Amino acid sequence: MNIFLITSVPIAPPWDQGDKNLAYALATALPAHRFRVLTYRGGPVPEGDNLEREPLYRSRQPSFWQKARVYWRLLGRPLAVNGWAEPDLYHFIYRPYALSSWLCRLMPEFRRRPTLHTVPATADGRSLGRHLFFADRLVVLSEHGRQVLARLGLTNTVQIPPAIPVAHWAALRDQTDRLKAQLGVAGHPVLLYPGHYSPGYGADLLLRALPAIAAQVPDLRVLLACRPRSPDDEAREAAARQAVAQMGLAEAVRFYNVVPDMRLLIGASDLVLLPLETMRDKVDIPITLLEALAAGKPIVISDLPPMSELVRGCDDEIGLVVPPGDADALAQAVIALLTDAALRRRMGERGTKLAWERFDIRQVARQYETLYTEMVQ
C-alpha cells in the first residue's frame, strides 16, 4: 500500500516534536508499505527503505505562511509526480487550522481517495469546530480527545494511543550510571525537565520549586532541555539563568536548547517532570513522557487532562500527579521521589511495563494498518 503521510512540519531529524516523531515511528514500523513524506531542502533526511522523501519545506521550523505555500503547491499540481507511485490513502498527522483545512477541502484528490486524520492535540486552548475536519476517518490519542470530537457530533472517530519504539528506550534502563558519567553528573540525583520557557509550560513553576527541592536534595542536578519556539525564548532562557544564579544554584542547573537525541538526557535522569499549566500546542499524551516511562524513569506531571490520563488511567503507580501551578506540591513530589530509590525503582519498572503494553509502536502500527486496509477496500 502507498500512503502519503502529511504533517505540518518536515519529517526529519532532530526528533524533538511529538507529531512528527509519531509519524516517523509509524512509517518505520510498517516496512511492507510505502510512505511518501515531506522533508525540507538541504536538511537531513529520515532513514528508511520504505520512505519516499520530497523536500517541499524550506526550513526545519516552517512559518505559518510557508506551510500555507506548501499546501497551495500541493493543491496546484498532481500529487503523484517525480516517479512516485500514486497514493492509495492520505494520512494527515497535524493540528487542524482553518486555512489548511479549507485548502484540503478544495483538493479534488482528497475527495477521490481515502483520507485519514490523526489529531495529536485536542486540549490546546484553541476552539475546535466541525469545519476543521474534512477526512473520512479521524484518530484521537486520548479519551479526552474522543469526547471533544464526540461533542462536535463527529462519529467517524477511533481512539489509538500515541506510540514509540519502546525497545529503543527500554535499553536505557541499566545504563543510568554510565550515562551520568558521560554527561558529567556521576553520583548526583538528576532531574530532567523537557519542556519550554513560555509561561504556563512548567519551567517557571520548576524554578519557584527549586529552592525547596535543593534544600532537601543538596547534590541535585537539574537538566532544562527547552527547545526554542519563538524569538522570546532567548530572553526567557537568560532570565532563567539569572534566577538560578541568584538562588546560588548555577552549578546545579544545566541549560540545553535543541537536543539531537534525548536518549542521553533521559537515560542519565532519575526522574522526568512536566508540570504543565496549559496543554496549548502539546500532544495530548506527550511523547517525551512515554520515552521516560519506557526508560524506567518515574514521571511527575500536573493533574491536567488529557496528559493526566497517562497516570490516572493506569492500575500501577508510575509517577506522581500534582495540582497545576502548585510549586509547593511539585517540590514535595520531586523530593519524595529523589530521596526514595526503592520507590523510583518500583515506579520505573511499572512504567516500562505500561509502555510495552500500551504504547509500543509495533502494536499501535498494527491498529493503523488495520484501519488503512478497511479504508482502501
Q: Residue ranges of the domains in the chain? A: 2-163+361-376, 166-358
* Region for residue 48 given its phi and psi (left: phi exceeds 0; alpha: psi -120 to 50; beta: otherwise): left
The amino acid sitting at 211 is P
Distance CA 98, CA 87 (A): 25
Q: Is 19 exposed, middle or buried (0-12, 13-18, 19+ CB in 10 A)?
A: buried
Q: What does the pLDDT read at residue 345?
A: 95
Distance CA 187, CA 180 (A): 8
Q: Which three cell numbers stand for residue 13?
A: 531529524
Per-residue pLDDT of the chain (377 residues; tens, 9 = 90+): 999 999 888 999 888 888 899 999 999 999 999 999 999 988 899 999 999 998 889 888 888 778 777 777 766 555 545 556 788 999 999 888 887 788 788 777 788 889 999 999 998 656 788 889 999 999 999 999 999 999 999 999 999 999 999 999 999 999 999 999 999 999 999 999 999 999 999 999 999 999 999 999 999 999 999 988 788 989 999 999 999 999 999 999 999 987 877 899 999 999 999 999 999 888 999 999 999 999 999 999 999 999 999 987 665 699 999 999 999 999 999 999 999 999 999 999 999 999 999 999 999 999 999 999 999 98
Distance CA 270, CA 339 (A): 11
Q: Which three cell numbers stand for residue 232?
A: 522570546
Q: How many residues does the chain have?
A: 377
Question: Under CATH, to which class is 2-163+361-376 assigned?
Answer: alpha beta
Q: What does the pLDDT read at residue 197?
A: 93
Superfamily for 166-358? Glycogen Phosphorylase B; (3.40.50.2000)
Q: What does the pLDDT read at residue 93?
A: 95
Q: Which three cell numbers stand for residue 2?
A: 502507498
Write the CA distances from 236 to 203, 248, 277, 350, 354, integer angstroms.
10, 19, 17, 36, 35
Radius of gyration of the chain (CA): 21
Distance CA 13, CA 365 (A): 21
Whether the full predicted model's pTM is greater than 0.85, yes or no, is yes
Question: Both ends of the chain: CA-CA distance in Å?
Answer: 11
What phi and psi values does residue 78 have, to the nearest 5 degrees? -60, 140
Write the CA distances from 300 to 11, 19, 150, 367, integer angstroms.
29, 22, 30, 29
With a CB cutoff of 8 Å and minimum separation 6, the contacts of 347 are 298, 317, 318, 319, 337
* Region for residue 317 given its phi and psi (left: phi exceeds 0; alpha: psi -120 to 50; beta: otherwise): beta
Q: Do domains 2-163+361-376 and 166-358 have the same CATH topology?
A: yes
Distance CA 219, CA 238 (A): 24
